[in-house]
Amino acid sequence: MSNPKKTAETLHATHSTTSFQTIAPGSEKAILTLSDGSQLVLDDSANGVLATQGSAQIVKNEEGEISYAGIKNEKSAELFNSMQTPRGGHYRLVLPDGTKVWLNASSSIRYPVAFNQQERRVEISGEVYFEVAHDKAHPFIVNTGSSSVHVLGTSFNINSYADEPWQTTTLVEGSIRMEKNNQFSLLRPGQQARIKPNSSIDILEVQDIEEVTAWKNGVFLFNSRDVQSIMRQISRWYDVEIVYQGSFSKETFSGIVSKSSSIEQVLKILEASGVHFKLDGKKLIVIQ
């Protein structure tokens, strides 16, 4: 990319003559899998009570958010639900304990319908943001497959996409403890834990928390990001396959773009920095 210093304002003011076909941005889409294996397509479901799981009712409110009502603190067979977003989808969920969850595109979470154990344990993949309900007596634990995060009550973001170079856990507020292969690391607000496959936990200071959490606020925010990093996000949100032509550029891009923009609008903005694109159906060719 030819100019890594371009601002969002400059980029929005730049025009491109390249013509693209229109691909709509992502939207609220998810599938909820119940304990018996049956599935609900949430974007097609009406508001109100969707199903009953044990003593709990699954409710979809007017804003499309899923929550659980009528939960009784009784010992019973543990029932699990899971929510999965497709490429080009995102969704919001309130867990039975009141913890708020945001799922980015191509992400999932598995959780019990009622937290009846001494700990609150969930499993995730992809990218998920949590605002954990405080409950000192019942620690909140997130399993990603390669590591786990131990929480009392806090806000944090986990990015565990398989195509990213490392898994990241970024602490916004509160405190969390990372665990991998019996190695433990404590995070303070503004810190990020990075884990590469078959490696230890690295802790670093985050330069821009807003960049990490921008996706849940409806924007792409790039702060000196290379084209490959940006294209991974574009691929998941617009559900397109990325193909590269030419050598990889080491230059970077900074800017902010609404996630409600069409892919045409986003690519025109990115082209102002020197990269060119060609859309062939659902295949996006990146020419550097």
Q: What is the CATH number of the domain that holds 266?
A: 3.55.50.30
Tokens of residue 193, six digits: 């834990």
Evaluate if residue 76 carries a pLDDT over 90. Answer: no
How long is the chain? 288
What confidence tens digit (pLDDT) does each residue in 260-286 have? 999 999 999 888 878 899 999 899 999
Nearest-angstrom CA–CA distance, 178 and 240: 33
What confidence tens digit (pLDDT) does each residue in 30-40 have? 999 999 999 99
pTM of the predicted model as reported, rounded to 2 decimal places: 0.88
Residue 50, domain CATH: 2.60.120.1440
CB 203 within 8 A of CB 187: yes
Residue 1 lies in a domain: no
Evaluate if residue 160 carries a pLDDT over 90. Answer: yes
CB 262 within 8 A of CB 22: yes
Q: Is 215 helix (H, G, I), strand (E, B) or coil?
A: helix
Nearest-angstrom CA–CA distance, 221 and 211: 5
Between 156-170, 206-220, 243-257, the lowest mean confidence (pLDDT) is in 243-257
Model confidence band, residue 52 (pLDDT cutoffs 50, 70, 90): very high
Distance of CA 141 to the CA centre of its chain: 18
233 vs 13: which has the higher pLDDT: 233
* Total number of domains in the chain: 2
- Residues of the chain by 3-state class (helix, strand, coil), percent to 5: 15, 45, 45
What confidence tens digit (pLDDT) does each residue in 78-96 have? 899 999 999 999 999 999 9
Residue 243 lies in a domain: yes
Q: What is the pLDDT of residue 73?
A: 61
